[in-house]
């Protein structure tokens, strides 16, 4: 047996909230499968399983906040397949004869009032908790089908839709009591986003799963006018209590959910705490240099003429690759300062400082120094896009060995960032500007960029930092080698 534990998704993470289980007992999982959604102070993260086997027990209920390292589930890593759920044979066998079972009107009508999703219990489960299994046999045992349905309504929670939904959308749906099966997604491949959930509630097309009899729900749901807001910026809105009742929209009569803290403030506070710790504990030193990008941009233009539009390389990828290649050659900046010692990393895991309304995230790309530029460009776009949608995996938030921060698209000419502990260096790139430049004894106008380095004086000194910046300069003047 193996335990699936609450993962550490950053140096500043002490505990996390289990937002949603993506598996149920009896499901077969393989290494790399997504099994849960965990909420940290910064983002909701899709968490992978690192063991192949059969899910035996879910130890923690959804919505529970537990410390890092807490066992969340037990997985049987033996090779034997999972035993079939008892519900399947019950629904498939007719009480009269075996042959007519699939077409017998009697049993079919008995199953129909219950959830249609029960035909596939291994893939669909109400995110509510551990109890659905005890509710399922009720319709078969009861003499009248109407009674079990009435019993289920008050305890049912928003069911998991077969359609893909972002963690943020799932959280908003849970807060508003919305069944995701009733929501049409506007994202790629029909993915449901938070804005889709809020729009469906406002339009009255997605009734609360807690019961249709709660009449105040549509009126309360009309309040969130932030349906047009971005999914991330709107994440805090559904958690605000209703002014009149003190309950969130969609809560059933007599149910008064505990107040939910402002997510934006919590995540901003987490970023503030980490940066304050970094400035307090890390003796920073700062260096910068200006690099002529004329050769690099000319080379990039020639390369892009041979590539389809959707695979063209942006200067940001070239700068990131130069930073990754240079740190491989100056390994004193590639690693972590832990327990009073520097521990060099055995590979380059390049962190990308990604700004969100709630704070900073630093997802990483493994072996960025070895990836072809086209592949690095693809991963950069994908990683930043999913970070902003709240669709990152836990493996992508494992500690980077060095971080790149690029504010060129914001018009910033130079930046001197705060090191993200336990790393020992951060590289900054500003915007590309045209400046008078002396080249081969002539003065002309050239595109240049300011490259900065924030480094930890406990590990290196200025000479090492200067050597690193010189390596970046050299790589950007020989882009064909990247």
Residue given tokens 């729009």 in the structure block: 199
Sequential DSSP letters for 11-26: TT-SEEEEEEES--TT
Give the pLDDT of residue 263: 63
Residue given tokens 């037990």 in the structure block: 74
In whole angstroms, give the CA distance from residue 161 to residue 23. 13
Give the pLDDT of residue 11: 65
In whole angstroms, give the CA distance from residue 355 to residue 417. 13
- Whether residue 408 is predicted with pLDDT greater than 60 in this model: the reply is yes
Give the pLDDT of residue 168: 63
Q: In this predicted model, which residue has the larger pLDDT, 422 or 87?
A: 422
In this structure, of 107-116, 306-315, 427-436, the range with the lowest mean pLDDT score is: 107-116
User: Per residue in 331-388, pLDDT tens?
Assistant: 999 999 999 999 999 999 999 999 887 778 899 999 999 999 999 999 999 998 888 8
Q: What average pLDDT does the segment 444-460 reach?
A: 97
Percentage of the chain beyond pLDDT 70 is: 66
Banded model confidence at residue 254, pLDDT cuts 50, 70, 90: very low
In this structure, of 144-158, 162-176, 457-471, the range with the lowest mean pLDDT score is: 144-158
Q: Yes or no: say if 183 and 192 are a contact pair by the CB < 8 Å rule.
A: yes
Residue 403: Cβ-neighbour burial (10 angstroms; 0-12, 13-18, 19+): buried
- Whether residue 218 is predicted with pLDDT greater than 60 in this model: the reply is no
- Whether residue 61 is predicted with pLDDT greater than 70 in this model: the reply is yes
Instruction: Look over the chain and give the mean of its residue pLDDT values, rounded to a whole number.
Output: 75
Sequential DSSP letters for 186-211: -SGGG-B-HHHHHHHHHHT-S-BTT-
- Whether residue 147 is predicted with pLDDT greater than 90 in this model: the reply is no
- Whether residue 68 is predicted with pLDDT greater than 70 in this model: the reply is yes
Q: In this predicted model, which residue has the larger pLDDT, 122 or 328?
A: 328
Percentage of the chain beyond pLDDT 90 is: 40
Q: What average pLDDT does the segment 266-277 reach?
A: 84
- Whether residue 119 is predicted with pLDDT greater than 70 in this model: the reply is no
- Whether residue 200 is predicted with pLDDT greater than 60 in this model: the reply is yes
Q: What average pLDDT does the segment 405-433 reach?
A: 95
Most confident of 50-64, 147-161, 374-388, 462-476: 462-476
Compute the Cα dihedral for 347, 353, 354, 359 and give only its sign.
Answer: positive
- What is the pairing mode between strands 65-67 and 53-58? unpaired
Give the pLDDT of residue 393: 86
Sorted by where each starts, the structural domains of the chain and their CATH numbers stand as: 2-76 (2.40.50.100), 268-481 (3.30.559.10)
Give the pLDDT of residue 286: 98
Paired tokens of 180: 């995701």
Banded model confidence at residue 233, pLDDT cuts 50, 70, 90: very low
- Whether residue 454 is predicted with pLDDT greater than 80 in this model: the reply is yes
Q: What average pLDDT does the segment 278-291 reach?
A: 97
Closest CA to 57 of 71, 69, 46, 45: 71
Paired tokens of 364: 């990483």
């Amino acid at each position: 047996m193996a335990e699936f534990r609450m993962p550490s998704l950053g140096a500043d993470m002490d505990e996390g909230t289990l937002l949603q289980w993506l598996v149920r007992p009896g499901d077969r999982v393989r290494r790399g499968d997504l099994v849960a959604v965990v909420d940290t102070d910064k983002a909701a993260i899709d968490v992978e399983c690192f063991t192949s086997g059969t899910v035996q027990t879910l130890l923690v209920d959804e919505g529970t906040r537990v410390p890092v390292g807490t066992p969340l589930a037990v997985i049987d890593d033996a090779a034997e397949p999972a035993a079939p759920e008892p519900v399947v044979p019950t629904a498939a066998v007719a009480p009269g004869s075996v042959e007519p079972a699939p077409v017998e009107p009697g049993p079919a009508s008995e199953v129909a009032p219950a959830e249609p999703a029960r035909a596939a219990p291994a893939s669909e489960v109400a995110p509510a908790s551990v109890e659905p299994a005890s509710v399922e046999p009720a319709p078969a045992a009861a003499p009248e089908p109407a009674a079990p349905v009435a019993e289920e309504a008050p305890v049912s929670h928003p069911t998991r839709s077969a359609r893909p939904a972002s963690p943020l959308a799932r959280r908003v749906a849970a807060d508003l009591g919305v069944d995701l099966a009733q929501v049409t997604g506007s994202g790629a491949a029909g993915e449901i986003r938070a804005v889709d959930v809020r729009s469906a509630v406002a339009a009255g097309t997605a009734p609360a799963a807690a019961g249709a009899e709660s009449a105040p729900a549509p009126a309360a749901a009309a309040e969130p006018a932030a349906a047009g807001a971005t999914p991330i910026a709107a994440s805090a809105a559904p958690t605000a209590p209703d002014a009149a009742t003190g309950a969130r929209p969609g809560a059933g009569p007599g149910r008064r959910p505990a107040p939910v803290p402002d997510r934006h403030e919590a995540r901003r506070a987490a970023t503030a705490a980490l940066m304050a710790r970094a400035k307090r504990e890390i003796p920073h030193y700062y260096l910068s240099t200006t690099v002529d990008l004329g050769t690099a941009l000319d080379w990039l233009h020639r390369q892009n003429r041979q590539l389809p539009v959707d695979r063209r390389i942006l200067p940001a990828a070239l700068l990131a690759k130069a930073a990754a290649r240079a740190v491989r050659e100056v390994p004193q900046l590639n690693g972590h300062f832990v327990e009073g010692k520097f521990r060099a990393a055995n590979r380059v895991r390049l962190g990308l400082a990604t700004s969100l309304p709630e704070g900073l995230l630093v997802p990483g790309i493994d072996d960025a120094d070895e990836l072809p530029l086209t592949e690095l460009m693809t991963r950069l776009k994908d990683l930043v896009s999913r970070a902003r949608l709240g669709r990152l995996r836990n493996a992508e938030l494992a500690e980077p060995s060095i971080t790149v921060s690029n504010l060129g698209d914001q018009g910033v000419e130079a930046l001197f960032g705060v090191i993200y502990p336990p790393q020992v260096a951060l590289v900054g790139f500003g915007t590309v500007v045209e400046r008078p430049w002396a080249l081969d004894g002539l003065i002309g106008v050239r595109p240049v960029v300011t490259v900065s380095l924030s480094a930890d004086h406990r590990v290196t000194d200025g000479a090492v930092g200067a050597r690193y910046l010189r390596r970046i300069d050299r790589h950007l003047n020989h882009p064909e080698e990247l």
